[in-house]
Amino acid sequence: MFKQLIKILFLLFCFLIEKEASAQTQFTFKRLNDSLSVLDSNNKAIIALGKLAISKQVDYFYLRMKIGEAYFKLGKTQQAFYQFHKAYLFDPSSQYAINGMRYCAMLNGQNSVSNYLKPRLGIPNKPIQKIYIETGAKLSNRTDSIQNIYIAHAGILLNLTRKLDTYQGYTYCSQKSSLYDVVQQQYMGLANIQLNANTQLKLGFSYIHAAVDNHLLNESQSINNFTEAMAISKQISNLTIGLNAAIGRLNKKEQWQLGANLNYSVTGNDKLSIQFKPILQNQNDEFKLIYNPAMIFKAFRNLWIITNYTYANTTNYIEQEGFIVNNNYDLTKDKFSVLFNYKTAKNKDVYLCYQFENKQRQFGFPEINQDYTFNTIILGYTLKN
Amino acid sequence: MVLIVSAMSFNMNAQNTSLINAFNNSYALEKKGDFSNARKELQTVYNEKSYEINLRMGWLLYNEGEMINSVKSYEKAIALMPYAIEAKLGLVYPLSSLGNWEAVLETYLKILKTDPNNTLINYRTGLIYYNRKEYAKANTYLQKNINLYPFNYDNLILSAWSYLNLGQQTEAKVLFEKCLLFNAEDESAKAGLKLIK
């Protein structure tokens, strides 16, 4: 370890001394190449030297591949992807660069990126990518007035073309009480369009039908709601930045929202990431700021834990960059969730999610606010093809 | 006045003589495989505004294995003579050694703007697009060559494979058969025809 450090420092020292020398001897390609060959197994030194070369406008395909391989060997697959992508821009026909990107994308869990790259290597994509099934309950702390909600969801992720994946989902929710019964059915269509290896565009549409039976007034009501969402994201090394927008008509209220998404992989792979999502929402000409920090970490070999806090500012905003619709009449003040995703086999995941939600019901005239909480448990299963 | 002009003329002649000598010595050293000293010989008379010196420095640096500096020298030569094809043909040597094929393609496309019927560049551009699996683009350049040299094997066989990959079997078959006229035992043409039948 100490010897490696001395070696890195010595090399950096040599190159820094050369900075003062004349233009021709400043940073010679041959010397760089020779040093990279000598440092064959010293990945940290290769990265340090490579970065120094790039800062001096010495940038070429083989250098980016070398840095990418060094990052890959260190397990930093996000930075490796970035370097392989830079190499790919120097030579878009390089199978090595494409394969490097694809392998990193697979390890980073970026399916649509992997699907985008596979056909370039002559590997066909499977039309059915994943099947999701989940069920759960939202348990109220005030069952005298607010009943539990039961949820079931099924979805399928399909690959249509190299650049296009689509998710089709159906959700059923029911809430029954002595006063009223609500049955809600939702169709969700999502298109993932991979614009290039590191830029993705998402388009989403949800149609929600709610049937309400009011036992007290003995009348039935049918409500049709919809939302449309769009999000674009770009990955730059271990940072992913995104912008999103959504519009909707939820329970006769027009609303729109604009958001940003920042995701930083602390470890440069899927072991530890932090996220921050601020959202500006407008409903009934009232602006509200919502924010959502999250942390994703790999606890064990096959277990990922996602913790998430949302300050929802007493709204019913559209979640997950506008793709999950919170259609309840009641408003969310804030919530905390923890999700355990366990990979049981190569192609099977089981997840368990617990969520604690502070809710508020507004009713009557003059308006009365009634606070309550939901404890939500969701169990899901993912089958990958 | 006459004295000043004579002095200037003498000075110019002396400069030219030293330049000719430097180039001559440089060629002699290159023949011996001593690229480093061949370049150093030119450095004694280096003038950044000289197209010829920068061009030759580019070549010698490439042979020394100094790819980045070779690219810089060729780029200086190109900046001095923007329409020069030879400097661009030289530039692609270090660029391809660095693996920067996108820059190679850009250089070829610049050459074709000046000289659209350059058969060497049309073939190489077609080959780059073929390797990128952009067969329609590859054929655009190859077909230009085939119109000028209808019985050139390299263009015929690459164009035939491009047509085959595009699913245009009739065109591919015609071209594969022309390749067999060139060489009846050609393995590539036979393999292509086998895929069609």
**Helix, coil or strand: residue A332:** strand
In chain B, which residue's Cα lies nearest the Cα of A29? B66
Q: Is the pLDDT of residue B13 over 80?
A: no
Strands (E), chain B: none
**Local confidence band at A24 (pLDDT 50, 70, 90 cut-offs):** very low
In chain B, which residue's Cα lies nearest the Cα of A53? B68
B-chain residues within 8 Å CB-CB of A60? 67-68, 98-100
Contact B99 A91 (CB under 8 A): yes
Are A259 and A230 in contact by the 8 Å Cβ rule? The answer is: no
Considering the entire predicted model, what is its pTM? 0.83
The predicted structure's pLDDT at residue A255: 87
A-chain residues within 8 Å CB-CB of B128? 93
Fold observed for domain B116-197: 1.25.40
Q: Is the pLDDT of residue B135 over 50?
A: yes
What is the Cα–Cα distance from A98 to A91, expressed in whole angstroms? 10
Facing B98 at nearest CB: one of A27, A62, A93? A62
Q: Is the pLDDT of residue A252 over 90?
A: no
**Local confidence band at A3 (pLDDT 50, 70, 90 cut-offs):** low
Q: What angle is formed at CA A378 by the lines to CA A376 and CA A379, rounded to 5 degrees?
A: 155
Rounded CA Rg of chain B = 23
State how far residue A116 is from chain B, nearest Cα, in angstroms: 15
State how far residue B128 is from chain A, nearest Cα, in angstroms: 8
The predicted structure's pLDDT at residue A4: 59
Instruction: Render pLDDT for A309-360 as a digit per residue (tens, 0 to 9).
Output: 999 998 888 887 656 666 667 889 999 999 999 999 888 999 999 999 999 9
Structure tokens at A262: 């920042």
Instruction: Render pLDDT for A290-323 as a digit per residue (tens, 0 to 9).
Output: 999 999 999 988 999 999 999 999 888 888 765 6
Structure tokens at B15: 């400069």
Instruction: Render pLDDT for B66-83 as a digit per residue (tens, 0 to 9).
Output: 999 999 999 999 999 999
Residue spans of the domains in chain B: they are: 1-114, 116-197
SS3 content of chain B, % helix, strand, coil (to 5): 80, 0, 20
Distances (CA, A) of B2 to B8, B9, B12, B13: 10, 10, 15, 16
- Looking only at the bridges linking them, the beta strands covering A331-345 and A324-325 are unpaired
Instruction: Render pLDDT for A114-142 as a digit per residue (tens, 0 to 9).
Output: 999 999 899 999 999 999 999 999 999 98
The predicted structure's pLDDT at residue A23: 44
**Helix, coil or strand: residue A11:** helix
B-chain residues within 8 Å CB-CB of A93? 101, 128, 131-133
Instruction: Render pLDDT for A179-227 as a digit per residue (tens, 0 to 9).
Output: 788 899 999 999 999 999 999 999 999 998 989 898 888 889 888 888 8
Domains B1-114 and B116-197 share a fold: yes
Q: Is the pLDDT of residue B146 over 50?
A: yes
**Helix, coil or strand: residue B22:** helix
Distances (CA, A) of A134 to A151, A156, A353, A354, A385: 8, 12, 10, 13, 18
Scan for tokens 């999000």, then name that residue: A231
Residue B39 amino acid letter: R
Facing B132 at nearest CB: one of A28, A89, A93? A93
Question: Could you tell me what percent of chain B has a pLDDT over 70?
Answer: 93
In chain A, which residue's Cα lies nearest the Cα of B131? A93
In CATH terms, the superfamily for domain A2-108 is Tetratricopeptide repeat domain (1.25.40.10)
Distances (CA, A) of A19 to A55, A197, A219, A310: 12, 35, 83, 50
What string of DSSP letters covers A139-162? EES-TTTS--EEEEEEEEEEE-SS
Q: Is the pLDDT of residue A14 over 90?
A: no
Facing A93 at nearest CB: one of B64, B103, B131? B131
Contact B100 A61 (CB under 8 A): yes
Structure tokens at A32: 């760089």
Distances (CA, A) of A216 to A29, A183, A210, A361: 84, 17, 18, 19
- Is 3.40.50.2300 the CATH number for B1-114? no
Q: Which of B42, B44, B67 to mutate to test the interface with A (most CBs of A within 10 A)?
A: B67
The predicted structure's pLDDT at residue A248: 86
The predicted structure's pLDDT at residue B6: 53
Contact B99 A29 (CB under 8 A): no
Contact B128 A65 (CB under 8 A): no
Which of A158, A201, A224 is closest to A321 using CA atoms?
Answer: A201
Under CATH, which architecture does the A128-384 domain have? Beta Barrel (2.40)
In chain B, which residue's Cα lies nearest the Cα of A65? B99
What is the Cα–Cα distance from A292 to A327, expressed in whole angstroms? 19
Cis peptide before A366 (omega within 30 of 0): yes
The predicted structure's pLDDT at residue A27: 64
The predicted structure's pLDDT at residue A21: 42
Are A52 and A67 in contact by the 8 Å Cβ rule? The answer is: no
| CB pairs A-B closer than 8 Å | 50
Strands (E), chain A: 128-140, 149-159, 164-176, 180-196, 199-214, 219-236, 239-250, 253-265, 272-283, 286-300, 303-315, 318-319, 324-325, 331-345, 348-363, 368-384
Rounded to the nearest integer, the mean pLDDT of chain B is 93
What is the Cα–Cα distance from A98 to A121, expressed in whole angstroms? 8
Residue spans of the domains in chain A: they are: 2-108, 128-384
